[in-house]
Chains A and B, each alone.
Chain A
Amino acid sequence: MTDLTRLTAAELADRLTSREVSSVEATRAHLDRIAAVEPALHSFLYVNGDEALATARDIDSRRAAGEQLHALAGVPIAIKDIVVTKGMPTTAGSKILEGWIPPYDATITTRIRAAGLPILGKTNMDEFAMGSSTEHSAFGNTHNPWDLDRIPGGSGGGSAAAVAAYEAPLAIGTDTGGSIRQPAAVTGTVGVKPTYGGVSRYGLIALASSLDQAGPVTRTVLDSALLHELIGGHDPRDSTSIDEPLPGLVAAARQGRSGDLTGLRVGVISELTGEGYQPGVRARFAESLEVLRGAGAEIVEVSCPNFKYALGAYYLILPSEASSNLAKFDGMRFGLRVEPSEGNVTAERVMGATRGAGFGDEVKRRIILGTYALSAGYYDAYYGSAQKVRTLIQRDFAAAFAQADVLVSPTAPTTAFKLGEKLDDPLAMYLNDVATIPANLAGIPGLSVPNGLSDDGLPVGFQVLAPAKADDRLYRVGAALEALLEAQWGGPILAKAPELEVAR
């Protein structure tokens, strides 16, 4: 019998619909896989086995009764631990929320439950999504399935590793500066950051409200489109949610599989290539451009001169918004409460002690940085200037999209680095997101699709960016490149990954 964990979500959905396979079988296969590889990977912070199997049984009986179900009904999914899930622990990777069980569901969770996807569990992440390696998780890092000594990317390294290692066919990530796309690149998986407002933020534990966006983490472009259509679309509970129908994402992915991009203009962002990018990353990028050219696309060079200020603007805007969003962790209404070891036990001193004990280093760094950037006397120079840079970056994108239908770059400057390598150098860690951050600042959608292995044998990602609300273009181009590269490779990139030692 086929190993059900090796199927794509679309293939599994077809077999469930034809009743060749039951959701209980599929869910159990993934739970078994989780049990076997978790000791090596640590992708999950919580495994939700009993409830996942109960959902699967319910879907199987409803399908047997002839009920019309969602196309993904019965396909198991993993959810990043920053998305609240009623009755399931949600920590955002922080000690300050250890043991907290949310009293409500995020809109994403509600939609996943309504469509009947068994929720396998909650995936590991950098604390409050601050990081590019999952090493800032308070509960230990996740390992990259390609090389267990390397980082799986971050902040959503758990979701990416889970999908790459066949623990789940689908996962949810969130992307504030690259936390879906960069992990996808370094694990050989697909990740999409939708247009800002395209997927509801209701029930996401907010990092930076003007940048955060949830999206799909999968092994194929089509699977991302299927999941994006499920979780996306207007939500009255999120006032920034776009009140328009999504473009046809699954249709665009299916169209892209034909491999024909005749007439499409692809803009190469000159600021996001060259110096600072690993030679193997540059080589795969150049080859992918040739593949796109061969598919009929016209390749043009575009310049976004203000992108060199994007990292600075991002590391002012994000900490500023985070310092405000994380003020709610005050030890009063949920999560940890620590009383000061001496002196009066006042609310203010309890708050200081709780946050001192409950937050990790990176969270402290960013809250202090944000508080500083917003404080009297510095606001104009830091936060005010960063907001102006945001305008300049949007103008750069507008000019670039006048010359091209999509923009492309490597997703990350390097392949997965060694665990611990950048942990003591915050600035070096921040540079991982140099190519992904501009999209968040401008609110536009972005996708990362695997485009080969670097000289070190580790996967590389190709980033596609589209104008706001034109997410369908990502899927068309991503699926075309995926199909053409897989034809060259003779199969998916993950077939080249080493098999994990399986615990028995």
Chain B
Amino acid sequence: MSTLSRDEVARVAALARIDLTPAELDRLAGELRVIVDAVASVSEVATPDVPATSHPLPLTNVFRADVPEPSLPVADVLAGAPASMDGKFLVPQILEED
């Protein structure tokens, strides 16, 4: 497995939508390299014959009756939003162009 470079950490942080200062990037890259090297040992025993487990106990699909239930009042939900208008969330522009 590869070692984690500073550029790689910058790329992944951008994918994760976390702005980092250059100083943070320096520090995190060093720490993450140590952590990634430590956890990489899992590949030693993860041979092709071993099935993956995503969940601790067997799961079955869960359904409920297809009957509408009351949802939260709009005003209660919007009360915690950074900005709202006309009963809706008010968000910044979605697309980059003007």
Which of A's residues lie within 8 Å of B, judged by CB?
100-104, 195-197, 210-211, 236, 239-240, 242, 306, 308-309, 311-313, 315-316, 323, 327, 330-337, 339-340, 344-353, 355-357, 359, 361, 364-365, 367-369, 371-372, 375, 378, 381-382, 384-392, 394, 426-427, 430, 440-444, 468
Contact of A309 among B24, B45, B56, B92 (CB under 8 A): B45
**Given A316-B42, A388-B52, 7 additional A-B pairs, CB 8 A:** A308-B41, A312-B40, A345-B92, A356-B20, A357-B19, A371-B16, A378-B1
Cβ of A368 and Cβ of B16 under 8 Å apart?
yes
Contact of A103 among B13, B15, B19, B76 (CB under 8 A): B76
Q: A196-B56, A365-B28, A391-B52 are in contact. Are A103 and B77 (CB under 8 A)?
A: yes
Interface status of B68 (Cβ within 8 A of chain A): no
Contact of B42 among A101, A312, A323 (CB under 8 A): A312
B30 nearest CB across to chain A (Å): 10
Chain A binding site: helix, strand, loop or mixed by DSSP? helix
Q: What are 7 residue pairs bridging A and B, where the CB atoms are less than 8 Å apart in the complex?
A: A240-B55, A361-B24, A371-B13, A371-B15, A388-B53, A391-B51, A468-B57
- 8 A Cβ contacts from B32-73 to A: 32, 34-36, 38-47, 50-57, 59, 62, 64, 72-73
Contacts of B80 in A (CB 8 A): 100-103, 333-335
Contacts of B41 in A (CB 8 A): 308-309, 312
Cβ of B13 and Cβ of A346 under 8 Å apart?
no
Cβ of B39 and Cβ of A382 under 8 Å apart?
yes
Contact of A364 among B4, B28, B40, B46 (CB under 8 A): B28
Cβ of B43 and Cβ of A381 under 8 Å apart?
yes
Cβ of B56 and Cβ of A210 under 8 Å apart?
yes
Contacts of B35 in A (CB 8 A): 315, 365, 369, 426-427, 430
Contacts of A368 in B (CB 8 A): 9, 12-13, 16, 18, 28, 32
Q: A391-B52, A442-B56 are in contact. Are A364 and B82 (CB under 8 A)?
A: no
Residue of A nearest to B34 (CB): A427
Q: A333-B89, A426-B31 are in contact. Are A347 and B44 (CB under 8 A)?
A: no
Cβ of A103 and Cβ of B72 under 8 Å apart?
yes
Cβ of B16 and Cβ of A346 under 8 Å apart?
no
State the CA gap A54–B9 with chains docked (Å): 51
A56 nearest CB across to chain B (Å): 26
Cβ of B53 and Cβ of A352 under 8 Å apart?
no
Cβ of A388 and Cβ of B45 under 8 Å apart?
yes
B9 nearest CB across to chain A (Å): 6
A379 nearest CB across to chain B (Å): 11
Residue of A nearest to B95 (CB): A346
State the CA gap A365–B31 with chains docked (Å): 8
Contact of A332 among B14, B18, B50, B82 (CB under 8 A): B82
Contacts of A334 in B (CB 8 A): 80-82
State the CA gap A353–B70 with chains docked (Å): 35
Interface status of B85 (Cβ within 8 A of chain A): no
Cβ of B18 and Cβ of A359 under 8 Å apart?
yes
Cβ of B53 and Cβ of A391 under 8 Å apart?
yes
Contacts of B17 in A (CB 8 A): 327, 330, 348, 351-352, 355
Contact of A312 among B31, B39, B56, B57 (CB under 8 A): B39
Contacts of A371 in B (CB 8 A): 12-13, 15-16
Q: A382-B39, A427-B38 are in contact. Are A350 and B92 (CB under 8 A)?
A: yes
Cβ of A364 and Cβ of B18 under 8 Å apart?
yes
State the CA gap A444–B56 with chains docked (Å): 8
Cβ of A347 and Cβ of B94 under 8 Å apart?
yes
Interface status of B8 (Cβ within 8 A of chain A): yes
State the CA gap A375–B36 with chains docked (Å): 14
Contacts of B57 in A (CB 8 A): 195-197, 240, 242, 443, 468
Contacts of B79 in A (CB 8 A): 101, 103
Of B4, B39, B40, B79, most buried by chain A (CB within 10 Å of CB) is B39
Q: A348-B17, A364-B20 are in contact. Are A312 and B38 (CB under 8 A)?
A: yes
Residue of A nearest to B13 (CB): A368
Q: Nearest 9 A-B pairs (CB), nearest first?
A: A443-B56, A356-B19, A385-B46, A337-B82, A387-B52, A103-B76, A388-B46, A312-B39, A239-B62
Cβ of A355 and Cβ of B19 under 8 Å apart?
yes
Cβ of B95 and Cβ of A385 under 8 Å apart?
no
Contacts of A197 in B (CB 8 A): 57
Contact of B50 among A327, A392, A427 (CB under 8 A): A392
Contacts of A211 in B (CB 8 A): 56
Cβ of B46 and Cβ of A323 under 8 Å apart?
no
State the CA gap A442–B57 with chains docked (Å): 8
A112 nearest CB across to chain B (Å): 20
A39 nearest CB across to chain B (Å): 30
Interface status of B86 (Cβ within 8 A of chain A): no
**Bitwise interface map of B from 18 to 30 toward A, beta carbon under 8 Å scored 1, else 0:** 1111001000100
State the CA gap A195–B92 with chains docked (Å): 43
Contact of B89 among A103, A332, A353 (CB under 8 A): A332
Contacts of B55 in A (CB 8 A): 210, 240, 443
Contacts of A352 in B (CB 8 A): 14, 17-19
Of B31, B42, B52, B82, most buried by chain A (CB within 10 Å of CB) is B42
